[in-house]
Structure 1
């Protein structure tokens, strides 16, 4: 086969087999990504038959990571990340430390050198960007506060791994490997390497936040003025890929992190929602190729040759990391549901683990068998990750039923978890309970204020609740899907419950709790799509507002008014 068509071969075989096996997986009630991974195994070098170009597949997967992180950045502002910094920064660093210790201890038990154990543990400590984001998007909680915690956690992990990848070559000699870097040459002094890395990362972030926030929205506006949809789509994709590549080439940060910040600065444009929609098909297609490329790296023989070692690695990834993350989130006094969701999000490893493993092998600080075990652990943890998300709700119910302490974790004694005793009586009866104080919630609150209608906010962002209290707004901290939170908001005497969050999963539970405590209460729900809105209307008998529908009706009313006035 001519080399000139290897790209076509890889795309055709990867997407074609991913479609077939993804369809079969769904019919067997398995996650589609299991089929994508299996497609990669089939066209990989470790199984007979056609072998796709692994190098090309890996690069296509990188494009998928760029587009996916760019799309996430379009939905997140700097304020969103800063809002979760108090838990994401220390939590991610502590979780990396715990996972590294667990993986390192396992490697030392196998009589590996301490340097090999350290690299092995680090490779097991960082989650996959693509897997985490796909899971949150599938559950519809990417824009929720819990989703923001998970994404903030992921950003911190990415930054930490950037430092690890830069510092590993100069430290390789002291760790029992080859001093220098994979390309050869003497290593720079450690202090110089660390200082340069921090300077590069800081320079990149500053450039994007200071210059990028002005330049890229302006460029998008100029392209939009041409009226060409093709140019608009090209501008969006070019921004995602080009900025990600430039950030890696000039500043040494990862493609994923560069694309994420590109999306964040592009969010300043009024066309950010359109940009997200235009890039969605490409994001989905290339994300599939990411899973295919992971499958291509997997050697099934490791399951036969080292089954117990593979099982131990999966245990560290799925159980060790998850339990550590869960304990850390609970230690920061966040609800059990948030802790379980974050821990499930991190119960897998991915692209950074592959990069670190490859670098470790080339530097002689990780045995080849270690790389095989990391790849096996990645594939199994990615394939089983949807299962852990599906177990969150039943596990939470089981913990509530069996352990009183679990219920106490949801209603723990915190000053922001209940209204102050000095709260005025007008906020305790015939008030509106507003769940969520995001972009939609703030606008609803402003209208209520303008009409002198008392309301109480229920919000999961603890720092935001503190600020609302300081501003004189009645607010309680917690997950409104928990009865205790709605009780603290005095739902039993409220006249209206407004759910302004995009949490489609827990809204039914909120409705059930509200109607149990207050059968006469009126309910208003926010929805994202017609199918979901129809189901919510049927199941909850609530008034459901669909964004596109309300926009169309408002525009139609304005058009009719103008037409009548001109007649």
Structure 2
């Protein structure tokens, strides 16, 4: 058992780092390479790594750390500065794929509940991939870059809440009995969760961080951040929500604290050195390449819809907010990438029993396609809008 785990971790670490290196050389998001490692090393091709309980534990820790980092990397000041256009982009960027990708899924034979969940999956936007592309093209601090980041913050929060409410509804087996238990499960637990977040943020967080800073111990502040991350993950799980929700909001709280940069640097090291690559590889391990034979049309239509809904939704919203046409297209393109958030949510849908093997694999493939297309679209619209000022970073 231990020997199999160690061998799997060796293959995962070597494979993901080499894949990330190759992806950087060809300007493809590293997450795509990590997924491909799972596909190539997994049962679909070479069968060098097989799913196991221990890998699942590592994968779950990776999800929690990934969402914690997503919270840490969210900049609420940008949301304040560009609140109106960011909110508009986020709202249409959620509604378009939620409705249209859901309808496509229902049209291809999924149940109503599963189709709605697919719509939720494609409502998510990946912040990290768009940020990297904008940084490479020196657009991170531009108007369009700030709106993309602000919209992504709203997008992440709203989609996480939608997933939470959706999970609560499923746990009640779809019964809409309007009694005290219903309102407690649907709203009461969520309100209690946010009330506890408020109490921690207002009265407990700063004293806790001051105490840990005074400890004469190696990496005490990083350890304290992990305690908060895992503690809120456990709390949200206890209150009937996903553990990643607690981790995400604790990251948001810490993102405004002086310790943020140090904690982020350490958590990035811990997460991306081991746990997060295991998570992405574990998704690839479950992918069945035979799905192209049986679900090709579904993959094609869903991928096109996933790209078009975010691109057009972002463009229309930005134009309504009086953003220039070329910048509006960049904003739409910046919202196309799904990456980590969508992969996390689709994994949750699989664990809830909403997505079968072929459908699950088809959705993962569609997420990968949308994620691959997004950087190309951003590059295209930046070059089209300001070709003489484009300067990429090597």
TM-score bracket for this pair, using the shorter chain length: 0.7 to 0.9
Q: Alpha carbons of 1:385 and 1:149: their partners in 2 closer, same or farther (altered >3 Å)?
A: same
Q: Distance in 1 between matches of 2:203 and 2:132?
A: 28
Query: Greater share of strand residues, 1 or 2?
Result: 1
Q: Distance in 1 between matches of 2:381 and 2:67?
A: 25
List aligned pairs for 1:97-176, cutoff 5 A.
97-127=95-125, 131-137=126-132, 139-140=134-135, 141=140, 144-170=146-172, 172=174
Q: Distance in 1 between matches of 2:54 and 2:321?
A: 43
Q: Alpha carbons of 1:230 and 1:211: their partners in 2 closer, same or farther (altered >3 Å)?
A: closer
For residue 35 of structure 1, what is the aligned residue in structure 2? 33
Aligned residue for 2:352, secondary structure, equals helix
For residue 350 of structure 1, what is the aligned residue in structure 2? 343
Alpha-carbon deviation of 1:216?
2.5
TM-score (norm 1): 0.58
Where structure 1 has 5 or more consecutive residues not aligned to the other structure, the ranges are 173-186, 402-480, 482-505, 510-531, 536-567
Partner deviation per Cα, 1:403-447 (whole Å, 9 max, x = no partner):
xxxxxxxxxxxxxxxxxxxxxxxxxxxxxxxxxxxxxxxxxxxxx
Note if contact 1:74-1:264 (Cα within 8 Å) is conserved in structure 2.
yes
Alpha-carbon deviation of 1:90?
5.9
Alpha-carbon deviation of 1:18?
1.0
Partner deviation per Cα, 1:498-552 (whole Å, 9 max, x = no partner):
xxxxxxxx8x89xxxxxxxxxxxxxxxxxxxxxx9xx9xxxxxxxxxxxxxxxxx
Between 190-199 and 227-236, the greater mean CA deviation after superposition: 190-199
Q: Alpha carbons of 1:112 and 1:82: their partners in 2 closer, same or farther (altered >3 Å)?
A: same
Q: Distance in 2 between matches of 1:171 and 1:334?
A: 44
Alpha-carbon deviation of 1:367?
5.4
For residue 274 of structure 1, what is the aligned residue in structure 2? 262
Q: Alpha carbons of 1:217 and 1:372: their partners in 2 closer, same or farther (altered >3 Å)?
A: same
TM-score (norm 2): 0.81
The yes-or-no answer on 1:16 pairing with 2:11 is no
Match for residue 382 of structure 2 among 351, 372, 393:
393
Match for residue 193 of structure 1 among 182, 188, 191:
182
Q: Distance in 2 between matches of 1:242 and 1:343?
A: 36
Q: Distance in 2 between matches of 1:299 and 1:115?
A: 23
Q: Alpha carbons of 1:226 and 1:340: their partners in 2 closer, same or farther (altered >3 Å)?
A: same
Query: Greater share of helix residues, 1 or 2?
Result: 2
The CA RMSD measured in Å over matched residues stands at 3.5
Q: How many residues are paired up?
A: 381
- Structure number with greater Rg is 1
Alpha-carbon deviation of 1:41?
0.6
Where structure 2 has 5 or more consecutive residues not aligned to the other structure, the ranges are none
By relative contact order (CA 8 Å, sep 6+), the higher-ranking structure is 2
Aligned residue for 2:313, secondary structure, equals helix
Match for residue 331 of structure 1 among 306, 316, 320:
320
The yes-or-no answer on 1:309 pairing with 2:298 is yes
